[in-house]
């Protein structure tokens, strides 16, 4: 039986590949795609999500959500994702978003679910936090929460913070404290799965479907990471989806995780106690190691299963 999930995202180049992996994997039943402003503004992430879902041909409803964090101002990341969020790659327009707000849709789906649902967050955690904070009873129908967020060490948005965590640290803190199992795909796990020029060439040689072509074009627009040595680009969001599709690719560790909510230079930092030094109980499972070859084989297979 496939695993029911709600995929909350902010497309975003790596979100695009994560959406393709989710919608190309029979292990997952994507009940809804919910969208926030993040990598770029909601005015771009929403049409991007609609276009990406439309390209796959999947009949999955898409819901617009938060266009800003719970507190503070919205900040995008156009240097990586381009002004349009997809690196300038133009896709056919998708369908029309549902009228319901993303947080309302998450609450409704969980309230009426006949089996526990996995919440997957690969953008700022605002939509998920809004849903859980305003109707805590729905937590009974949450199987687990999988987030691409945080870092053990240095950040990528600031020296201290990873981009999704910094975009809405209060929302991330709400989710980490909700009491349901949380799995974190951090910067470090994605750094073990750099998409290089060789990987892109292998993808292009593996087929010619429209989704595979779009994935290659979108990923080909992403600059290689100076922070990671300039040899490739980390596939942050697809790693989080791969955990659900093929967990055997990973080694994990339980940890206590907190978020710095202060106003200073450490705001958004995730304090990941991997060694139990604080004595605080673990509130998350941290993905520590990934079989990179297996991960890229999975992506190649699933992109080629899509039209």
Q: What is the pLDDT of residues 198-208, one digit of tens each?
A: 999 999 999 99
Q: pLDDT-derived band of residue 301, with 50, 70 and 90 as boundaries? A: very high
Give the Cβ contact number of residue 57 at 10 Å: 12
The H or E element that residue 196 is part of is none
Map tokens 């859980």 to a residue: 132
Q: Which of 138, 145, 139, 136 is nearest to 118 (CA)?
A: 145
Q: Per-residue confidence at 230, pLDDT binned at 50, 70, 90?
A: confident
Q: Which residues contact 11 (CB under 8 A, 6 or more apart)?
A: 19, 35, 39, 45, 48, 49, 52, 85, 86
Q: Positive or negative CA dihedral for 12, 14, 15, 19?
A: positive
Rounded CA separation 138/53 (Å): 26
Query: CB burial class (10 A; 0-12, 13-18, 19+) of residue 26?
Result: exposed
Residue 89 to residue 220: CA distance in whole angstroms? 10
Instruction: Please give the mean pLDDT across all residues of the chain.
Output: 96
C-alpha 240/C-alpha 252 separation (Å) is 13
Q: Which of 148, 140, 51, 43 is nearest to 90 (CA)?
A: 51
Stretch 224-250: mean pLDDT, rounded?
93
Distances (CA, A) of 159 to 52, 150, 152, 156, 194: 32, 12, 12, 7, 20
Whether residue 165 has pLDDT greater than 90: yes
Burial of 218 (0-12, 13-18, 19+ CB in 10 A): buried
Instruction: Give SS3 for 29.
Output: strand
pLDDT band at residue 76 under the 50/70/90 scheme: confident
Quick one: pLDDT band at residue 231, thresholds 50, 70, 90?
Answer: confident
Task: Tell me how far apart the alpha carbons of residues 101 and 288 are, in angstroms, rounded to a whole number.
Answer: 34
Rounded distance between C-alpha atoms, residue 135 and residue 272, angstroms = 28
Looking at residues 79-104, what average pLDDT do you find? 94
Predicted confidence (pLDDT) at residue 235 exceeds the cutoff of 90: yes
State if pTM tops 0.95: yes
Q: What percentage of the chain exceeds 90 in pLDDT?
A: 92
The model's confidence at residue 158, banded by pLDDT at 50, 70 and 90, is very high
Domain range 3-305, its CATH number among 3.40.50.300, 3.30.200.20, 2.102.10.10, 3.90.245.10: 3.90.245.10
pLDDT exceeds 90 at position 1? no
* CA nearest to 28, candidates 156, 163, 119: 119
């Amino acid at each position: 039986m496939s695993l029911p999930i709600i995929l909350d995202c902010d497309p975003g180049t790596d979100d695009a590949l994560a959406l393709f992996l989710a919608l190309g994997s029979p292990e997952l039943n994507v009940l809804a795609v919910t969208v926030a402003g993040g990598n770029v503004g909601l005015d771009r992430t929403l049409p991007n999500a609609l276009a990406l879902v439309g390209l796959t041909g999947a009949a999955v409803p898409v819901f617009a959500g938060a266009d800003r964090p719970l507190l503070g101002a919205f900040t995008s990341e156009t240097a990586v994702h381009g002004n349009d969020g997809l690196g300038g790659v133009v896709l056919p327009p998708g369908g029309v978003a549902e009228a319901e707000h993303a947080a309302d849709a998450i609450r409704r789906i969980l309230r009426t679910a006949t089996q526990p649902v996995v919440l997957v967050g690969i953008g700022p955690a605002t939509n998920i936090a809004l849903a859980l904070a305003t109707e805590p009873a729905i937590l009974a129908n949450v199987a687990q929460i999988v987030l691409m967020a945080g870092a053990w060490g240095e950040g990528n948005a600031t020296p201290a913070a990873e981009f999704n965590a910094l975009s809405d640290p209060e929302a991330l803190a709400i989710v980490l404290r909700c009491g349901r199992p949380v799995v974190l795909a951090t910067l470090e796990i994605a750094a073990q799965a750099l998409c290089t020029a060789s990987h892109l060439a292998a993808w292009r040689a593996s087929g010619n479907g429209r989704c595979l072509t779009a994935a290659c074009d979108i990923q080909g627009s992403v600059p290689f990471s100076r922070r990671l040595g300039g040899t490739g680009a980390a596939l942050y969001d697809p790693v989080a989806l791969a955990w659900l599709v093929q967990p055997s690719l990973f080694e994990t560790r339980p940890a206590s995780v907190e978020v710095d909510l202060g106003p200073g230079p450490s705001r958004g930092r995730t304090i990941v106690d991997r060694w139990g030094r604080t004595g605080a109980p673990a509130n998350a499972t941290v993905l520590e190691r990934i079989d990179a070859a297996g991960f890229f084989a999975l992506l190649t297979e699933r992109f080629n299963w899509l039209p």
